[in-house]
A and B are shown apart, each in its own frame.
Chain A
Amino acid sequence: MRRGRPPADSPAGPLTYVLLVVTIALSALPLYWMFVVGSSGEEDVFRLPPVTTPGDELGENVRAVFAADNVFFIASLLNSLFVAIVVTLSVLLFCSLAGFAFAKLRFRGRGPLMLFLIVTMTVPNQLGVVALYIVMGKLGLNGTPAAVILPGLVTAFGVFYMRQFITDAVPDELIEAARVDGATTLRIFRSVVAPTLRPALGVLGLLTFTATWNDFQWPLITLGGSEYPTVQVALSNLASGQYVVFSRLLAGALLATLPLVIVFVIAGRQIVTGIMEGAVKN
């Protein structure tokens, strides 16, 4: 179109904006429709042409979801919140400690261990679910939140991400100086490294929280029969009942999505930069 100018330099024309607006509309459409149906009465769902504007029965549908006698939705929401917070805090702590060690400390085996860690980033945990279920069974943890939390406590991506950040953010001289002053390694972490970590912790925390909140397969396997599963599993229970009430189902989907949409509206900018930074350095 704009023959003769490199793309990064050329200002976006009207066509570009139209394309982007259409793309974003398509991105948001399912979410919007979730809201439309979730706030409509059940009879409106089967109307042709389909409903396109929100109704006024959202409160009723939400109340019905909470009152469903086979799915304890509020408890599941709280359970998800608990699991996601514990996992996020643990990932932030352990991954920054390990990231610091790989970024700034010298020790035998550092190279091979880091290589091993990078290789594990490509190993999908989900492929070990059968054995993981057996392990959790031997520990007596299947059906409890611990079964969901334990495998999430650390991520290779988290270590890798923190290592990249610390390598760039903390000058070696600062660490040498602290050592010369007699600070221990832990002290250096607390007083020199930790204060610089805020932006990275924010991004990694958001990504971890989102992924944990949205996880489905492993929670379904280990918590499928439990009374208080995570909210995504509770949602799938709502969807597979004898009589599915669509307006309630989508109100439930809305509830399972809402916390993340709120997080995204507040901190979406950080998530975007986080994904882009994680990608460049790969």
Chain B
Amino acid sequence: MTSQLSASPSAVTSPVTASSAAAPQPPSWRNRLTRWDTAYTPYALIAPFFLIFGAFGLFPLLYNAVVSLRTWRLDDPASDGWAGSANYTAVLGDGRFWNAMLNTVGIFLLSSVPQLVLAMLLAAVLNRRMRWRTGLRMGVLLPYITPIAASTIVFGALFANEFGPINYLLSTAGLDQVDFRAEKWSSWLAIATMVNWRYIGYNALIYLAAMQTVPKALYEAAVLDGAGAWRQLWHITVPSIRPAVVFTVILSTIGGMQLFTEPLLFDPESREATGGSDGQFQTIAMLIYRTGWKELDLGRAAAMSWVLFLIIVVLAAVNGLMTNRLGGGRR
């Protein structure tokens, strides 16, 4: 489509070429260049993404599966033979793996369920006409931009034993002090609190964005039927923004199953990644780190991360599907 027109600039600037171009001739270099350009430049533009992502994102993930079938020790480069399924049997037969799995799922449930419910309520509150709208939205996002390492250290101090402000509050309220790192339930609760603190505002903004696309007529009809704020929220808002809910459920499943920084730095002995004296809050991601870089067994760590990958895929899919059914089937 551009052949005759792309020749015109040269015709203007140089009358000599113009006269010679009057006779029929094979496509000019310019013409061929244009065809090359439209055919191949798109690939050049997307190539950096696919090459870099392929090399440092996708390839490692798949290569993990190969590493998981080998003996691969950091302290003994010579031992890199095939291990067959030995790493997998070792992982699945390891009590620490199942303990870490229990911790991961426990903390995931304690964090994601309240997180998403509270985010929904917060979004509903933010979805009114109000003053200082942008300022308030920025305020709820503050935890999200705080580095996890920094906020976890702060929460670690807040949950400290004798001099921690939270234990001080408990004792002034006449309750027993809690050694938050000592037990499963208390350490899970503390870690889930950090996760919730970070992501409630973020998820609320995602819900809020979706809420603003819900047609007002739906609410007007509900009002005519006498529905109050609660019933409007659960029977109109939530079903209408189901895609956003599915999105956040999948996202929090993926994030929750990989939980690492919070439980790692909650422990004063964080370097060892044991998750407390008895592994009471050691997550799978921590155990992978410990197996690979403290026990120097990369093969077994790879097997563990590949198992975790498969679990996440299944869980995210199941959670997404279940959420999609929520509130009365598909739309």
A residues engaging B (CB < 8 A)?
1-12, 16-17, 19-20, 23-24, 26-28, 30-31, 33-34, 37, 45-50, 94-95, 97-98, 100-102, 105-107, 110, 113, 117, 120, 122-135, 150-151, 153-154, 156, 159, 179-182, 184-186, 189, 210, 213-214, 216-217, 220-221, 224, 232-233, 235-236, 239-240, 244, 246, 249-250, 253-254, 256-257, 260-261, 263-264, 268-269, 271-272, 275-277, 279-280, 282
Contact = CB atoms under 8 A, between A and B. Distances in A.
Contacts of A280: 209-210, 212-213
A276 B137 CA distance: 10
A272 B205 contact: yes
User: By CB atoms of chain B within 10 A, which of A27, A236, A271 has the most?
Assistant: A27
Contacts of A28: 139, 142
A273 B149 CA distance: 26
Given A27-B142, A33-B165, A135 B60 contact: yes
A135 B49 contact: no
Given A134-B298, A182-B6, A276-B208, A150 B56 contact: yes
A276 B127 CA distance: 13
Contacts of B136: 20, 24
B154 to A, nearest CB: 5
Interface residues of B, number: 122
Contacts of B331: none
A219 B129 CA distance: 43
Contacts of A17: 130
A264 B145 CA distance: 8
Interface in B32-81: 33-34, 37-39, 41-43, 45-46, 48-50, 52-53, 55-64, 66-67, 72
Contact of B312 (A30, A124, A232, A275): A124
A155 to B, nearest CB: 8
18 contacts: A6-B222, A7-B237, A11-B129, A19-B125, A30-B197, A34-B154, A94-B48, A95-B49, A98-B45, A106-B42, A120-B57, A127-B308, A131-B59, A180-B5, A185-B37, A185-B45, A256-B149, A275-B202
Nearest to A254: B150
Contacts of A235: 147, 149-150, 153
B128 A239 contact: no
Interface string B134-177: 10111111110111111101111110000111001000100000
Interface string B254-277: 100010110011001111000000
A209 B6 CA distance: 42
Contacts of A159: 46, 49
B41 A23 contact: no
B147 A257 contact: yes
B61 A45 contact: no
A249 B150 CA distance: 9
A282 B285 contact: no
Contacts of B41: 101, 105, 184-186
The dominant DSSP class at the B interface is helix
A184 B37 contact: yes
B209 A279 contact: yes
Given A6-B216, A6-B222, A94-B49, 8 more contacts: A10-B129, A97-B45, A120-B58, A125-B61, A185-B42, A232-B147, A244-B268, A282-B247
A240 B57 contact: no
Given A179-B2, A240-B271, A151 B57 contact: yes
A239 B261 CA distance: 13
Interface string B196-210: 010001100110111
Contacts of B37: 184-185
B163 A120 contact: no
Contacts of A233: 149
Nearest to B57: A125
A143 to B, nearest CB: 13
B100 interface: no
A169 to B, nearest CB: 17
Most buried by B among A1, A8, A102, A182: A8
A98 B53 CA distance: 12
B209 A182 contact: no
B58 A213 contact: no
Contacts of B33: 184
Contact of B258 (A46, A126, A269): A126
Contacts of B243: 282
